[in-house]
Structure formats: structure tokens, C-alpha cells
């Protein structure tokens, strides 16, 4: 019997896309000199909301990939994968709590702590434009309102 190759959408492919999107968002945020003072304009707030969604996406792909390793009884590999990326959903939750609380001064250190996580991503050219993150801040606030209700 021939080996089955899944050339379509895989968790690793989705994770790379989320990682690249996160790295691009961090780069755009780092290029804003006003953020050092904690001054977030509406676009910067949208970028932070977009980053929260991308970090959640990374976490979801990890669980999908780890589950497939568990199904093959590679439990060490699956646990290592979960441990290596445990930071992503935790940081997303932390950022979301800060955004909902409107504590923008505390967001900057969290963003700075993310930079080493994406240091290996090379960005020669930006592949996403503002259409990807416009409205992400508002969507994040709505999500929090629904969760609280």
C-alpha cells in the first residue's frame, strides 16, 4: 500500500502562517515610536488585537498536531510540542485581559517579551496589509463582552 501524503492544510502549515503574521504585527508595532511612551493609536490597538488572534491560532494548531502525535503513540513528541508552545495561548489571554482592561501601559512589556519568540522569522517583505487587522480590537472587545454576559 502506498504512503498517503497530505499536501493540503496541515497544523504545521497553519502554525507557520500564524507565526509569520505575528512576527509582522510585532514588527509593525516596533516601528511605532509612540508605543515606548504607551500611546496606542487605533491602528496599534487593532494590531494588538490581531496579535491576540494569531497567538490563539498558534495554540490551536499545537493541539491539533499534538493530538495526531498522540494517536500514533508518540506521546513524548506531543508533550514536547505542547510544552514548547504553551506560551502562545497564555500570552494571548494575558494580552486580551490587558486590552479589555484598557491597561495599555502594561501591554508594552508583554509585546517586548514576545520579540525573542519570533526572532527566527525572517521578514524580507510584508505580506499582509491593514485589511487583515482592521477591526481586530473591536472584535476582541465584543468577544470579551459576550464572554462576560
Provide the CA 32 distance to its chain's centre, in angstroms.
Answer: 19
Write down the pLDDT at residue 1: 57
What is the per-residue pLDDT across 71-118, written as a single tens digit (0 to 9) for each?
899 989 999 999 999 999 999 999 999 999 999 889 999 999 999 999
What is the per-residue pLDDT across 2-15, written as a single tens digit (0 to 9) for each?
666 666 788 889 99
| Residue 125: pLDDT over 90 | no
Q: Which three cell numbers stand for residue 3?
A: 504512503
Domain boundaries, the chain: 11-148
What percent of the chain is modeled with pLDDT above 90?
56
Write down the pLDDT at residue 5: 65
Give the span between the Cα atoms of 47 and 32, in whole angstroms: 11
Give the span between the Cα atoms of 95 and 76, in whole angstroms: 30
Q: CB of 136 within 8 A of CB of 46?
A: yes
Average pLDDT, the chain: 88
Write down the pLDDT at residue 6: 60
Write down the pLDDT at residue 91: 96
Amino acid at each position: 500500500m502506498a504512503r498517503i501524503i497530505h499536501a493540503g492544510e496541515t497544523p504545521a502549515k497553519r502554525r507557520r502562517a500564524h507565526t509569520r503574521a505575528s512576527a509582522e504585527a510585532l514588527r509593525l508595532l516596533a516601528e511605532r515610536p509612540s508605543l515606548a511612551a504607551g500611546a496606542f493609536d487605533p491602528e496599534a490597538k487593532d494590531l494588538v488585537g490581531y496579535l491576540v488572534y494569531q497567538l490563539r491560532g498558534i495554540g490551536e494548531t499545537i493541539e491539533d498536531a499534538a493530538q495526531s502525535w498522540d494517536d500514533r503513540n508518540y506521546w513524548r513528541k506531543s508533550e514536547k510540542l505542547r510544552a514548547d508552545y504553551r506560551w502562545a495561548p497564555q500570552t494571548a489571554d494575558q494580552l486580551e485581559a490587558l486590552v479589555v482592561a484598557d491597561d495599555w501601559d502594561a501591554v508594552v512589556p508583554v509585546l517586548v517579551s514576545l520579540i525573542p519568540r519570533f526572532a527566527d522569522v525572517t521578514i524580507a517583505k510584508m505580506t499582509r496589509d491593514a485589511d487583515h487587522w482592521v477591526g481586530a480590537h473591536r472584535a476582541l472587545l465584543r468577544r470579551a463582552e459576550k464572554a462576560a454576559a
